[in-house]
Chains A and B, each alone.
Chain A
């Protein structure tokens, strides 16, 4: 039996082949707190529009979904790689009611991987369908998927993180602007702060040659000597 072809296509649909099984049941990562939320039987897995992998059991855990179609046929996807899921009942799109999912393209690694984000926008979004033999299971299936997806936020996107810190990523900023526009933007922030720009200095000194004479001596006593240290006024724009 040649398993290579379907596995390669599964990966290009954002799925990981060969989940670890024991007696036909997926082995969960209990050390990481993974628990089974619910098992749904008689679920067909369809990749893209029509690559039907057959019927099997879907295990929805607190971390991922695992579809088992036989001892040699299983696929998993972490919730962090399921970008959206929906109940689709549009027969013009697919002949049977199903859960329609858009997956994170597997080549780009995790969502938020900076180097790949721009490429990702041009990539085809993998589509996967879960088709229950009994359409009345859809609502429940959808809800369990929602509940478990919500347990798996992306790393670094905590909703209300008290410790969240602003960090600088110079590379990222440089990638976003050439030197000229960076300089212009920095100038704008300077003007917002009402600080004279370097090229305004001559003008200020020309207006009042002694303007900065005492600056060094008076450092740390800004408040004390209004006559000796004139408060710099905003330069005319």
Chain B
């Protein structure tokens, strides 16, 4: 990485440091993606590789009224993600 590339002046520069790294993306509609960042632009449109999508849904139990949290996961080899659904981008959280 050249010195120029490593300079952080604005938020998108942080994402530049994550190019070819695995990132975590939170989307509208309780969707999350984990995948390798291969491309992005200023709208936060992205191409991710080796993607795992997690969709979280909350259902209310008919009898107990307890919240039942369900997650659905699927794997996609390469995914273009439209930036207008993106809420947050970060390096993956340590568990």
Binding site for B on A (CB under 8 A): 112, 117-118, 121, 157, 161, 164, 166, 168, 172-173, 175-177, 181, 184-185, 188-189, 192-193
Q: Are A173 and B90 in contact (CB under 8 A)?
A: no
Binding site for A on B (CB under 8 A): 8, 10-12, 14, 17-18, 26, 28-29, 42-43, 84, 87-88, 90-91, 93-94
A118 with B26, Cβ < 8 A, contacts A157-B84, A176-B87 known: no
Shortest beta-carbon distance from B54 to chain A in Å: 14
Shortest beta-carbon distance from B85 to chain A in Å: 8
Closest B residue to A176 by beta carbon equals B87
Q: Are A185 and B43 in contact (CB under 8 A)?
A: no
Q: CA separation between A185 and B18, bound complex, in Å?
A: 13
B93 cross-chain contacts in A, Cβ below 8 A: 181, 184-185, 188
Shortest beta-carbon distance from B34 to chain A in Å: 14
B87 cross-chain contacts in A, Cβ below 8 A: 172-173, 175-177
A157 cross-chain contacts in B, Cβ below 8 A: 43, 84
B interface: dominant SS: loop
Shortest beta-carbon distance from A185 to chain B in Å: 4
Q: Which of B10, B17, B88 is close to A166, meaning CB atoms less than 8 Å apart?
A: B10
Q: CA separation between A166 and B10, bound complex, in Å?
A: 8
Q: Are B14 and A164 in contact (CB under 8 A)?
A: no
A189 with B91, Cβ < 8 A, contacts A118-B28, A118-B29 known: yes
A185 cross-chain contacts in B, Cβ below 8 A: 88, 90, 93
Shortest beta-carbon distance from B95 to chain A in Å: 11
A168 cross-chain contacts in B, Cβ below 8 A: 11
B42 cross-chain contacts in A, Cβ below 8 A: 161, 164, 166
A188 cross-chain contacts in B, Cβ below 8 A: 90-91, 93-94
